[in-house]
Amino acid sequence: MALFGALFLALLAGAHAEFPGCKIRVTSKALELVKQEGLRFLEQELETITIPDLRGKEGHFYYNISEVKVTELQLTSSELDFQPQQELMLQITNASLGLRFRRQLLYWFFYDGGYINASAEGVSIRTGLELSRDPAGRMKVSNVSCQASVSRMHAAFGGTFKKVYDFLSTFITSGMRFLLNQQICPVLYHAGMVLLNALLDTMPVRSSVDELVGIDYSLMKDPVASTSNLDMDFRGAFFPLTERNWSLPNRAVEPQLQEEERMVYVAFSEFFFDSAMESYFRAGALQLSLVGDKVPHDLDMLLRATYFGSIVLLSPAVIDSPLKLELRVLAPPRCTIKPSGTTISVTASVTIALVPPDKPEVQLSSMTMDARLSAKMALRGKALRTQLDLRRFRIYSNHSALESLALIPLQAPLKTMLQIGVMPMLNERTWRGVQIPLPEGINFVREVVTNHAGFLTIGADLHFAKGLREVIEKNRPADVGVSTAPPPSTAAV
């Protein structure tokens, strides 16, 4: 009985679980590109290390090592990998740091000073980034683990007291190595918890698409890493800006990502597109009214000839009044994705009327239009764009089959009017696209679209249009209330 109850609760929870409308998978193919850009950023960060002055006394010698600066980072071996528990792990071995510092030595009444170059060799760094979902649904670096060590240091002392420096070099370089060890991990911790989070803050979560609708890209759970990829589930739902709390129930199939040949894959379910169309429908955008000169001349003449008898019977005095053609979508359009292609089904009313000046409209006819549009998706930069094409079209009367037969001559000219006058306006909007949740400065290139049953996937490679440093400096937050020191468990060793 207990087993039956547990099974029932599990099924009930599964029935209410909401599937993501958008999924993104970053594969191990992207890691080499990310590593190259990340190492450039890491090199610039390590150059900001500040090492405390090293002062001391050995017998009658007083020394002071100050103004220590990191001048360069040379990497011999580095690896960036996905790890199931850590998400991203960077390991650097046998690297070297170039240093420059000021030396001061006092022996009795003799003084020596100047600048000198040094090197820290056998530098090893192992740092991991844990990624998670914050309360607002944004992806964040939630923890940075770090281990760093410098195996040896060398300084080419010279000048008046070269022999004295040679005597003290082991003591001085050992002290500098200890101080350097203590500074590497705090710099990396600050880079991850503050600077990389500033980069992730550029990813859209709930943002406006235009003046009518917005989109919700909040993460539904923490990112999941395997040894070969990183998967992220986004809600992927549009909403009217006037109804920010409105939500369309997601009854579409869950998109699946199986491929790993490209750097990144993005999957969209039918729900993603259905929520967009329903949001525009609720915002009142899916209607069009053409009056007077806006109606194509040939169609105007055909409509007047078709309804000449009705005009004479209803109100012959308004026979020369401007003609009005109104299209109004009756229900939210629906998207169907199949391996053969993507289609959008639309049902709308078509109203034909005369609009005499300063008088009520004279309705001539009201009919229903069924249309089917084909949709082709593409990624450009980081925008998902859509190209629509009118494939099927028919009009019929809700009143009688005889009236539907009378509408057959209007079928071709109305379809032409839609293709010439309406479709370009739709495509102008859909081709502007909607942004995919990627950080600023990263774009998609060489994309390939594949249709499946109920969802589509887009495989692409990544391109850094801007360097990490450029984007981070642009969005750098004030370091207020943020600890830059790692927890004791992740301190440098």
CATH of the domain at 332: 3.15.20.10
Q: Which residue has the higher pLDDT, 4 or 289?
A: 289
pTM, 2 dp: 0.83
Angle, helices 31-46 vs 468-475, to 10°: value is 60
Would you say residue 1 lies in a domain? Answer: no
Regarding whether 217 and 156 lie in a shared domain, the answer is no
Regarding whether 164 and 231 lie in a shared domain, the answer is no
Q: Which residue has the higher pLDDT, 398 or 144?
A: 144
Q: What's the pLDDT score for residue 306?
A: 72
Instruction: Single out the residue in 170, 201, 232 at which a domain terminates.
Output: 201
Regarding whether 123 and 108 lie in a shared domain, the answer is yes
Lowest-confidence pick of 63-67, 194-198, 456-460: 63-67
Lowest-confidence pick of 173-187, 298-312, 358-372, 474-488: 474-488
Residues 27, 200: Cα–Cα separation, whole Å: 18
**Helix or strand (DSSP H, E) at 41:** helix 31-46
pLDDT in tens, 282-299: 998 888 888 877 877 777
Would you say residue 477 lies in a domain? Answer: no
Regarding whether 225 and 367 lie in a shared domain, the answer is yes
Across 52-60, average pLDDT = 73
Which of 107-121, 379-393, 406-420 is predicted most confidently? 379-393
Regarding whether 262 and 160 lie in a shared domain, the answer is no
For residue 2, is pLDDT > 80? no
Regarding whether 365 and 235 lie in a shared domain, the answer is yes
Q: What is the dihedral of CA 57, 59, 61, 64, to 10 degrees?
A: -10
Regarding whether 357 and 255 lie in a shared domain, the answer is yes
Q: What's the pLDDT score for residue 279?
A: 94
Q: Which token pair is 359?
A: 């008088």
Residues 373, 388 contacting (CB under 8 angstroms): yes
Regarding whether 273 and 311 lie in a shared domain, the answer is yes
Would you say residue 170 lies in a domain? Answer: yes
The DSSP 8-state label assigned to residue 263 in this structure reads S
Q: What's the pLDDT score for residue 372?
A: 93
CATH of the domain at 154: 3.15.10.10
For residue 486, is pLDDT > 60? no
Residues in the chain: 493
Regarding whether 224 and 188 lie in a shared domain, the answer is no
Regarding whether 214 and 139 lie in a shared domain, the answer is no
The CA-atom distances, in angstroms, between 85 and each of 82, 91, 491 are: 9, 16, 19
Q: Which residue has the higher pLDDT, 402 or 250?
A: 250
For residue 313, is pLDDT > 70? no
**Which residue has 């579409």 as its token pair?**
252
Domain total for the chain?
A: 2
Would you say residue 475 lies in a domain? Answer: no
Regarding whether 133 and 112 lie in a shared domain, the answer is yes
Would you say residue 488 lies in a domain? Answer: no
pLDDT in tens, 221-265: 999 998 889 999 999 999 999 988 888 888 888 998 988 889 999
List beta partners, residue 64.
Answer: 55, 104
Regarding whether 383 and 442 lie in a shared domain, the answer is yes
Residues 205, 215: Cα–Cα separation, whole Å: 8
Domain carrying residue 90 = 28-201
Q: Which residue has the higher pLDDT, 311 or 143?
A: 143
Q: Which residue has the higher pLDDT, 132 or 395?
A: 132
